[in-house]
């Protein structure tokens, strides 16, 4: 797994601290705070449905660092042949990592549902799940992502 480069992480933290202060002053926020935090095992949603919502999360909260289609930008690629997500072992571990650390800024404002949606987007775009797969905790735990799959 690619190690985070400390100076890049530090630069982002400084940037986001400044942005937080600035946005705090103007009193505006683009964050959605009303996303339901229903239990993952009860959603019954397919990968395609989750990924559609996940793309909106990605555009708002991930794209600036990881690139327009996750191909990499200031931060590493998370979608496509150059991505490092295979280092996370299985899909549930990837969800846990993203939930705990991303987006890499001081405003930990994504809901569990949004973390799931954006994780499923990454899984779908990397071909680890298919459109029609109904996603649950146990399904995620069973998806090995140690190998990259590209057609």
If one counts every other C-beta atom within 10 angstroms of the C-beta of residue 106, the result is 12
Query: How many angstroms separate the CA atoms of 137 and 41, rounded?
Result: 6
> Residue 46 pairs with which residues in a beta bridge?
134
Q: Are 81 and 97 in contact (CB under 8 A)?
A: no
Q: Binding string, 1-40, against ligand HEC, x = CB under 6 A?
A: xx-xx--xx--x----------------------------
Q: What angle do CA 16, 19, 21 make, to 5 degrees?
A: 110
Pick the binder of ligand HEC from 31, 35, 56, 64 (CB under 6 A). Answer: 64
Residue 105 within binding range of ligand HEC, rule CB under 6 A: yes
Please, is 43 exposed, middle or buried when counting C-beta atoms within 10 Å of its C-beta (0-12, 13-18, 19+)? Answer: middle
Q: How far is the CB of 43 from ligand HEC (least distance, A)?
A: 18
Q: Which stretch binds ligand HEC (CB under 6 A): 17-25, 42-50, 75-83, 140-148?
A: 75-83
Residue 82 within binding range of ligand HEC, rule CB under 6 A: no
Q: How far is the CB of 14 from ligand HEC (least distance, A)?
A: 11
Query: How many angstroms separate the CA atoms of 75 and 70, rounded?
Result: 9
Contact positions vs ligand HEC (CB under 6 A): 1-2, 4-5, 8-9, 12, 57, 61-62, 64-66, 75-76, 78, 84-85, 87, 98, 102-105, 110, 118
């Amino acid at each position: 797994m690619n190690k985070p480069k400390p100076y890049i992480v530090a630069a982002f933290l400084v940037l986001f601290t400044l942005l937080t202060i600035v946005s705090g002053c103007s009193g505006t926020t683009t964050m959605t705070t009303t996303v339901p935090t229903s239990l993952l095992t009860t959603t019954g949603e397919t990968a395609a449905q989750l990924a559609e919502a996940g793309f909106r999360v990605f555009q708002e909260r991930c794209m600036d660092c990881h690139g327009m289609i996750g191909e990499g930008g200031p931060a590493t690629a998370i979608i496509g042949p150059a991505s490092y997500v295979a280092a996370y072992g299985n899909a549930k571990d990837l969800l846990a990592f993203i939930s705990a650390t991303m987006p890499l800024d001081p405003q930990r404002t994504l809901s569990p549902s949004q973390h799931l949606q954006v994780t499923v987007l990454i899984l779908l775009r990397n071909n680890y799940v298919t459109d029609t797969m109904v996603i649950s905790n146990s399904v995620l735990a069973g998806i090995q992502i140690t190998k990259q799959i590209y057609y």
